[in-house]
Amino acid sequence: MRLVASRVVMVMCVQVLSSLAAFGGQPFAIEVVDAQTGRGVPLVELRTTNEIRCYSDSAGLVAFDEPGLMDRDVFFFVSSDGYEFPADGFGMRGQRLHTTPGGSAQLQLQRLNVAERLYRVTGQGIYRDSVLLGRAAPIEQPLLNARVMGQDSVFNVIYQGKLYWFWGDTSRESYPLGHFRMAGATSLLPAQGGLDPSVGVNLTYFTDDQGFSRPMAPFPQVEKGMYWLDGFIILPDDTGQERIIGHANCMASLGERLDHCLVIFNDVSQTFEQLKPLDDACELHLKGHPFVATIDGQHYFYIPSPYPLLRVRAQWSAVLDPSQYESFTCLAPGTRFEGEASQVQRDSQGNAVWDWKADTAWIDDTRQKQLIEAGKLRADEAWIDLRDAVTDQPITMHGGAVSWNEYRHKWIMIGLEVGGSSLLGEVWYSEADQPHGPWRCAVKVVTHRDYSFYNPKQHPYFAQDGGRIIYFEGTYSAMFSGSKVPTPRYDYNQIMYRLDLSDKRLRLKGDPPPPGGNHQVR
C-alpha cells in the first residue's frame, strides 16, 4: 500500500511540474475596457466555473496564472457594478478564453453608469496585475505606499501650493488594527507638475519611523478614542498667515461621540492640534466639505450637510464663534431643533419664513420630515425636495460635495443617497442657481449592488475643458452594505470617477419656482 501511495504521489508531482513547465511563469493578460472610451475598467470581477475570482486592477488588467487552467479554454463570468457584459443564449454574461501563457485577450463592457470609473487612489496593489504582466504603471507607488492597506473617507485642501489629503481610519499589512487618528499626504497639482487626474495621483504620505502612515491628530492629552476630522478650510489667522482649520470628533464607537472641537494644523510638527473646544450640544461648526462662495460682496464658507444650508463669514473670529454661523432654516431665529416642539417662524400671512438666521438650528431631510409629520410645516412649504429626473421619485440625501461649475454656470452637487437600491452606494448629480438651492432635480451617475460607496468628494481643482469634465471619489466599502464578500484589495479604499457634463443624460428639468408659493424666501 505504501508503494502504491508513493507512486501516486510521484505521478501527481510529475503532473504538477509538467503543468508549471507548460505555464512557464507567464500570466495570461485579460484587459477589460469601457466600450465607449476604450479605457481599462477597474474593479471588474472575472469568475471561473469553480468560483476562482479575479479583479481587474486600475488599468483594467487581470494577470491570470492559475496552474491547471493554463493553455486551455476557460469560461469567465464578467460582472461589475455600473457596467454590463452581453449575455449569451443561455443568459450567461461571460466569455470563453484560451489562456495561452504570455497571451492576451480583451473584453468590452457597456457602461451603464453616467460617470466613468478611473482608478483606485489608495491601498495595496493598485496596479498589481500591470506589474505582474510587466507593464508600466502611471504612479510612483503602484503596489504599496506607506504600508497603507485601506483608508476611509477622503478630504483635501490646497495649502502652500500643494494638495493636502486627509483620511480617516487607516489599516496596515502587519496587523488587523492600524491607526484611528487621521492619515495625511500631499500631492502636486496638475499645473504644478502633478499627474493628469485622468491618470492618477502620486501621494507622498506623512509617515512614522517604520514607514507607516502616521496619525495626523495625535492629541496626546486624550489617550482614548478615535479621531475623525472633517470640515477643512484655509483661512488667514489674526496675523494674516494662512492656516488649515477643521473640526474633530472624538469617537468611542461608530455612534458614540466623546468630545468634539475645532483643530488647527501645525506647520512645524505637521500634525493637527486642538484649537477650540466645543460644547457637546453645539452643532453650528465646520463639517463635511466646506466651499467658498461670494454673496453680495461677502465671502462665506458654505457647509454642506448634505445641502449647503449652513454658512459662516470667511473671517477668523466668525469661524471660531458658533453664534455667528447662519442656517437657512424655517425655524424661529435663535432656536434649536426640538422635534415636535420646534418653533417654525411664520409671517403675517401665516407662511413659513425660510431665511438665513444666525445661531439657529439647521434643517435637513430628516428634520423637515419630522416638522411635516408633527404638523409644524406643510408639505407645500418644504424647501428640501430633491427628485429623480427620470421617475420624479423623492431622493433622501446623506452627504455631498458642492462647487461652482463654469461649464454649466451652476452650483453642482455630487451627493450620496441613503436607502436607495444599495444602502449607501448610489451617487447623484444635481445643480442649482444658488448654493443653498433649491435643489430640485438629480440624475444617478454611479450605482452599486449591495455595496457602499460613501462620503463622495468632488475635486473642482481637477476639472478640465472649462469645467466640462469633473472628478470625484468616494469610499468603496462592504461596511453598511450587507455584502458578505468584501472585494479583495479594493474594499475600504478610495476610487476615482470622472463625469462629462455634456452627457445628454445629465439634462435636468428647469428649476421650478418655490412649491405652491406658500413659503417666503428672503
- Please count the helices (runs of H) and the strands (runs of E) in the chain: 4, 33
In the block, cell 434643517 appears at: 363
The pLDDT tens digits of the residues spanning 325-355 come to 999 999 999 999 999 999 999 999 999 999 9
What is the 3 state secondary structure string of 115-170? CEEEEECCCCCCCHHHHHCCCCCCCCCCCCCCCEEEECCEEEEEECCEEEEEECCE
Q: What is the pLDDT of residue 223?
A: 64
C-alpha distances out from residue 472 to 6, 165, 427, Å: 60, 14, 10
Q: What is the pLDDT of residue 509?
A: 67
Q: What is the pLDDT of residue 24?
A: 54
Closest CA to 460 of 296, 242, 293: 293
Q: What is the CATH number of domain 26-115+126-132?
A: 2.60.40.1120
pTM of the model: 0.92
Alpha helices in 416-480 (DSSP H): none
The pLDDT tens digits of the residues spanning 383-434 come to 999 999 999 999 999 988 999 999 999 999 999 999 887 889 999 999 999 9
Q: What is the pLDDT of residue 251?
A: 87
Q: What is the pLDDT of residue 2?
A: 46
Give the start-end residues of each E strand in 160-295.
Answer: 162-167, 170-172, 183-187, 204-205, 226-236, 242-251, 257-266, 271-277, 291-295
Question: Domain residues of the chain, as ranges?
Answer: 26-115+126-132, 383-522
Q: What is the pLDDT of residue 419?
A: 84
Q: What is the pLDDT of residue 510?
A: 55
Kind plus residue range of the DSSP H or E element containing 352:
strand 352-358
HSE (CB half, 13 Å, CA atoms) of 29? 19
Closest CA to 396 of 421, 431, 374, 371: 421
Residues of the chain with pLDDT under 70: 1-24, 220-223, 483, 509-522
Is residue 381 within 8 A of residue 350, CB to CB? The reply is no
- The per-residue pLDDT of the chain, averaged, comes to 92
Q: What is the pLDDT of residue 22?
A: 45
Is residue 247 within 8 A of residue 262, CB to CB? The reply is yes
